[in-house]
Structures are given as C-alpha cells and as structure tokens.
Amino acid sequence: MKIKLLIPVYNDWQSVIKLLEIINSEVSGLSHEFSVIIVNDATTENKPEMSISLDNLNSIQIINMKNNQGHARCIATGLKYIFEKEEFDYVIPMDGDGEDRPEEIKQFMDNLNYSPDKSIVGERIKRSEGLIFKFCYSIHKLITLTFTGESIKYGNYSCLPKSIVEKMINEKSTWSSFSGSLAKVAKDRAGIPSERGTRYFGPSKMSFKNLVLHSLAIISVFKLNVLIRSILFILVYMFLIHQNISLIMVIPAMLVLALMVSVFVISSRENLDELNNSLSNISNVDKIK
C-alpha cells in the first residue's frame, strides 16, 4: 500500500528534520511504501539542507506556499494536492513538532487489517501539556459534546482512506477545521489509543486565543445542532427561573447566546471555493528525494 504522510510546518524545520529521522526508523519494518509531503506554510526562517539518510521513505516533497494560511488550511491544501497529484491508498496527517508520535504509525497500519475502509483516528488517552491546558481541553470536549452531540477526542493525527480524502476535499468545513470536518464526513470511524507527545524543540505555539478559535472552529461545523440545542437550553432555563430572574441568574443564558453567535461568526471561515482554489497558493514543490 502507498501511504502519504502529510506534515504542515511553519518556522519549525529543526523539529521536522528530527521527525523525519524517527519516522524513517519506525517504518523500517513495515511492508508498505511510505512517502512524506511537507506543506511549508510560507515559513520565514531559512530551510536547512537535509543531509540525513532516509532510506525507508520512498519520496519526500516540500510544497512551498506563497502566503501563510494556517494549520488547518495547510492540511486541506495538502489533502487536495495529494488527491489530485499523487497515487496513494491512505493519508496520515500529523503535526511536525513531535506532539503526534511517529511511534504510533505502526498501530495505524495494524488497524488497517480490521478497518481497511474506515478512517482511523488517534484518540487521546494522555496529554503532555500543563494542568491549565488540560482543564481547558476538558471544557472544550464537554461543550462540544453538549452542543453538537459529537464526541471528538482526536486531532489531526489519523489515517484516511482515499474515499474519505475525496469527501474531505469536497466539504467546505475542511477549510476551517480538520477534526470537525472528519467527524462530519466519516461517522463510522475506528480509533487507536494515542498519547500526546512533547515538542522536540521549543515551547508550544498554541496560545489561549488560538485554542479558543480552534475549539469554536470544530463546534461551528455543527452549527445547526448548536442553534437548536442553544435555543432549547435558553427556553428551558428561562422557564425554570422565570420567577427569580436577576442579572446573575441570566448569565448562563447569556453565555450560551454568546457561544451561539461566536459559532456562526467562526463558521464564515468555511469556504469550498477557497479550498477548490487552494493549489493556486503553491509557489513551487521541492523534491527532496
């Protein structure tokens, strides 16, 4: 089988080079053809020469983008490029900083024996971040489940069959949220236990603001569910407190209303036309191997 590893990168070449070395080691005993496609999101730091030996990887390409577009859109562009330009059976999107552990690639491959036509996601069983991040992430999962009905315990790290890649590049929400879009187009998924690794170099680049936007982008994929559940919550809540209405008592209803408005604002980032035209943002493709 032909497996494409899709890795977005922005100003983190040191981590990517180490990641490639580890991937090369991890796939050495696997009887599949592994290739790497790196999406360079208009990085501003100099790209180093790759002098390492990567004999177990069939090919390595770097897609250089003209304009910076963000993590989710890099993955969307990479999926479209692979689907239109490459021969493949599966795509594995993964972060380039070590937080998606290449040691788990073998688990994806093993699972293909039982679920060859399903998307296989890396379901987080352990995270490496601090307590505050873990708490915020738990709140995100709870809000997502409550207002969308979807339990999304995975990120980008997954193994997608060709049929799902095709659905992803024809779904407008892929341009805004990978995991949300995958939950929408692939209801029947398999999973492997996945530990969130630590970055190879430097601190995490995920700020609190970006974490909130990331969470809202996932939730916004299911904005109609959010609308219905929010209205029901507000109606039931206001009915229960109608005899004791005060500013403090209406705060929960106001927060739900704010969530609903935010979700619809963020959903404006979903754009199928931009996804369809995403390959026009490619400057050139470097074939490293």
pLDDT score at 128 = 58
User: In angstroms, rounded to a whole number, what is the distance separating the alpha carbons of residues 1 and 230?
Assistant: 45
- Pick from 117-131, 171-185, 200-214 the range whose average pLDDT is largest: 171-185
User: In angstroms, rounded to a whole number, what is the distance separating the alpha carbons of residues 13 and 240?
Assistant: 56
This prediction's pTM: 0.92
CB under 8 Å to 280, separation ≥6 — which residues? Answer: none
Q: How does pLDDT run across 106-127, given as a tens digit for each residue?
A: 999 999 989 899 999 999 876 5
Band (pLDDT 50/70/90 cuts) for residue 22 is very high
Instruction: Give the three-state DSSP class for 27.
Output: coil
Dihedrals φ, ψ of 229, to 5°? Answer: -70, -35
User: In angstroms, rounded to a whole number, what is the distance separating the alpha carbons of residues 59 and 36?
Assistant: 6
Q: What is the DSSP annotation of 34-84?
A: EEEEEEE-S--SPPPP--S--TT-SEEEEEEESS---HHHHHHHHHHHHHH
Q: How does pLDDT run across 36-87, given as a tens digit for each residue?
A: 999 999 999 888 777 778 999 999 999 999 999 999 999 999 999 999 999 9
Going 170 to 173 to 175 to 181, the CA torsion angle's sign is: negative
Residue, of 266 and 250, whose pLDDT is higher? 266
